[in-house]
Amino acid sequence: MNKLRRRATGRITLDEVSAAAGVSPITASRALRGQRSVDPALVERVREAAERLGYVPDPAARALASARSSQVVVLVPMLSNALFVDLLEAVHATLLPAGYQTLIGMTHYDPAEEEQLLRGYMAHRPAGLLLTGFDRTEGSRKLIEASGVPCVHMMETAEAPGVFSVGFSQAAAGYAMTRHLVERGRRRVMFLAAQLDPRTLQRLQGYRDALRGAGLYDEALELLDPRRSSMALGAALFERALGEHGDADALFCCNDDLAQGALLAALRLGVSVPQRVAVAGFNDLAGSDQMLPPLTTVHTPRVEIGQQAAAMLLRLMQGQEVPRAAVDVGCTLVVRGST
C-alpha cells in the first residue's frame, strides 16, 4: 500500500512525484513550473517521475497554496477568424516563457456569453485577463473590478483612469480607407458589413465621417447584414449592392472575408475590378494579396497587439509600472490592384 499522501480523488500528488524523483516537494514544484533556478538535471528527473506516475497539476490548488495563479484568461470573439488566431499565437508566445498558461474562451460577440465565461473562469483564480474590446455587460465590469485581477483590453484603446489597453482606432482606419477611395475619384462609395460588432460599427463611423467631409455621404449606400461574415456572404452582398445601386463605383467591405467573396463574384459575373467598381477590405488576411486583382485592405497589427498586450499584462501581474496605459499601435493602408 502506498504510504504517501494521496488526495481523496485518487489523483497523484506532488509529494509522490517529489519522492519518486528524490527531491523536496518545493524543488519538484519549481521544476514543474519551469523555474530556471532549478538544476536542469533535477528538472529532467522530476519531469520523468511526473510523466511516469501520470501526475497532472491542479491549477486551483496551486493558486490557493501560493496565493498566485499561473493562468491567464484570454477571451476572443471566435477562432474561425484568422485575425484572432494570430493574436492568440502572439499572446501564447509571450506568456509561456514567463511561466503562464492561457485559458481561452470564445464570446461569439455576445456580452452575456462573455459574462458567463468570466464567472466560470474566475473560479480558477486567474493571474490576469486579456479581453477583446470594451463591449461588455455591467455585471462583467463589476466582476472584473471587484476581483482585483489585472486586466488588459485588446484591439481598441481607451484613455481612462485604471484602464489598460492595446489596439488602434477602428474609426480612423475606416476613415483612411474611405478617403483613399475618394481620392481615387470614387463618388458612390458603398459600405458592406456583416456581424455588426462594435469594431465594425466604429469602421462604419469612420466611413461616414470621411464621406460627410467630402460632401458625398448617402445613407442608402450602407449595406449592413447582421449575419456572420463569410466569403459566401461577401459574394451575395456584391451582387445585391450592384443590383440595387447600379451607380456604385466602390465597395468598402468591413473585412477581407467579404471583400474576397466580392472579388470572386466579380470574376464569375464578368464585372471589371477596379475599372467598373473598386473593392476594398479590412484586416489584410491570408490570401488577400493573391486575389485577382490583389485586394486593397487595411493591415491590422494583431501579432503586435497580442505581444504588447501580453507584455503589459505581465508587468501588471508582477507589480511593475506600466509606462503607458493606452498603447495605439496604429494600422497600415495597403494599396493593391483592386482600387
Are 121 and 189 part of one and the same domain? no
Residue 28 has which C-alpha cell? 519538484
Are 246 and 136 part of one and the same domain? no
173: left (phi over 0), alpha (psi -120 to 50) or beta: alpha
Crossing angle (nearest 10°) for helices 256-269 and 231-244? 60
Domain span at 259 = 170-299
| Neighbour count for residue 200 (Cβ, 10 Å) | 20
Are 144 and 292 part of one and the same domain? no
Q: Are 168 and 301 in contact (CB under 8 A)?
A: yes
DSSP annotation of 37 reads: T
pLDDT of residue 32: 83
Residue 234 falls inside a structural domain: yes
pLDDT tens digit sequence for 18-27: 999 999 988 8
Are 162 and 221 part of one and the same domain? no
Are 155 and 190 part of one and the same domain? no
CA 90 – CA 72 distance, rounded (Å): 14
Are 137 and 241 part of one and the same domain? no
As for how many domains the chain has, the answer is 3
CATH code at position 137 = 3.40.50.2300
Are 117 and 23 part of one and the same domain? no
pLDDT tens over the chain, length 339 residues: 344 444 445 578 888 999 999 999 888 888 887 777 788 888 899 989 988 888 876 655 555 555 567 899 999 999 988 899 999 999 999 999 999 999 999 999 999 999 999 999 988 889 999 999 999 999 999 999 988 999 999 999 999 999 999 999 999 999 999 999 999 999 999 999 999 999 999 999 999 999 999 999 999 999 999 999 999 999 999 999 999 999 999 999 999 999 999 999 999 999 999 999 999 999 999 999 999 999 999 999 999 999 999 999 999 999 999 999 999 999 999 999 999
Are 150 and 259 part of one and the same domain? no
**Which residue stretches of the chain are H helix?**
14-21, 25-32, 40-53, 59-66, 82-95, 111-122, 138-147, 170-183, 198-213, 231-244, 256-269, 302-317
The whole model's pTM is what?
0.80
DSSP string over 95-135: HGGGT-EEEEEE-TT-HHHHHHHHHHHHTT--SEEEEESS-
Residue 327 has which C-alpha cell? 498603447
Residue 217 falls inside a structural domain: yes
CA 98 – CA 172 distance, rounded (Å): 34
Closest CA to 192 of 221, 230, 212: 221
Residue 9 falls inside a structural domain: no
CA 294 – CA 338 distance, rounded (Å): 6
Q: Is 1 helix (H, G, I), strand (E, B) or coil?
A: coil
Are 203 and 324 part of one and the same domain? no
CA 301 – CA 311 distance, rounded (Å): 15
185 burial (CB, 10 Å; 0-12 / 13-18 / 19+) is: exposed
* Residue where the block lists cell 485577382: 292
Are 142 and 156 part of one and the same domain? yes
Are 91 and 145 part of one and the same domain? yes
CA 254 – CA 259 distance, rounded (Å): 8
Residue 336 falls inside a structural domain: no
CATH code at position 37 = 1.10.260.40
Residue 313 falls inside a structural domain: yes
Are 227 and 276 part of one and the same domain? yes
pLDDT of residue 5: 47
Residue 165 has which C-alpha cell? 489597453
Residue 338 falls inside a structural domain: no
Residue 7 falls inside a structural domain: no
Residue 6 falls inside a structural domain: no
pLDDT tens digit sequence for 145-170: 988 999 999 999 999 999 999 999 99
